[in-house]
Amino acid sequence: MKIDPNSPADLSAQIASAIRDAIVTGHLIVDERLPSEAELAEQFQVSRPTVREALKRLAAQSLIRTQRGATGGAFVNRLSFEDAYCQQVTTSTLLLSMNAVSFDTACEARYALERACAPLSATRRSADQLATMRAEIFRQGQPGLTDEAFCASDVAFHRALVDGAHNPVLSYQLAGAVEAMQPLMNMITFTARDRQSILVLHSQIADAVEACDGAAAVAGLTALEEETRKLAADVFARRAAKR
C-alpha cells in the first residue's frame, strides 16, 4: 500500500482509497484490526490528523468501525444488509431529488423492479408477511389518515411484498427504489376516492400472493402503476392550471 505525495489528490483521499482497495480485494478481511493511527501515519509518512481524515471517510461508508480503549482501533466492518439498506435509501433519495428525475421515470423503475419480485413473493411469502400486507391495507382504509401516514403505510405494504421473495439481495436493491419514491409520493394529495382505488388494487395483489398466483400479482402491480401515474398526472395538471 503506497501513496503518491506529489499527486494532486488529497493525501487523506489517497490513503482512504488504498485501504478501501485492500478491503475490497480481500487483503484485509472482516474484523481484522488495522494498524493504529500512529502506525498508519508512520507507514504512509503523513501526520495523524491526515490518517484520521482517511479513516473517517471509510467509516462514513461503513467499511470500518472504530473502538476506543486499550484493545481498540479501527476494524474492518462486516457490511450488513441493514447498513447497506440505509445508504441505499439515502443515495437513491438524493439522486431523485437532485437530478430532476420525472415522476414517471421513477415510477416506472419502481414498479418494473417490484414486478420482478412478485412471482417469487407469491410462492415464498411467509404467513407473517401476508398478514403485514393485510394489516397495512386495513390501515389504509381508516378514515382520518394523513397523506404522509398513507404513504408510509403504502411503503410498508410494498416492503412486505418485496421481502416475501425471501431474497436479501432483492430486498436490499428494492429498498432504494421503493423508499426513495416516498418523497415524490408525498407531493400528492390522495382523495378518499383515490385511496379507495389503491386499496382495491392492494387487496387484489394480496389475494394473488395468498393464492400463490404470481401472474395475478404482476397484473395487480401493473394496474397499480397505471393508477399511480394517472393520479400523479392529474395532480400535476391541476397544479399547472392553477398558475
Interacting residue ranges for its own copies, rule: CB under 8 A: 12-13, 16, 20, 23-24, 26, 30, 49, 52-54, 56-61, 63, 78-81, 84, 87-88, 90-99, 101, 105-106, 108-110, 112-113, 115-117, 120, 165, 167-170, 172-173, 176-177
Of 26 and 69, the one with the shorter C-beta distance to DNA is 69
CA distance 180 to 163: 17
Assess 37 for contact with DNA (CB under 7 A).
yes
Is the CB of 17 or the CB of 204 nearer to its own copies?
17
CB under 5 to 8 A by kind: which of DNA, its own copies, none does 193 bind? none
Q: Specify whether the CB–CB gap between 63 and 23 falls below 8 A.
A: yes
Binding residue for DNA (CB under 7 A) from 17, 43, 61, 66?
66
Q: Is 11 in the site for DNA (CB under 7 A)?
A: yes
Q: Which residue from 1, 24, 30, 49 is in contact with DNA, where contact means CB under 7 A?
A: 49
Residue pointed to by grid coordinates 432483492: 170
Contact in structure between 41 and 47 (CB atoms under 8 Å): yes
38 contacts which partner out of DNA, its own copies, none, CB within 5 to 8 A by kind? Answer: DNA
Chosen residue from 2, 25, 26, 69 binding DNA by CB under 7 A: 69
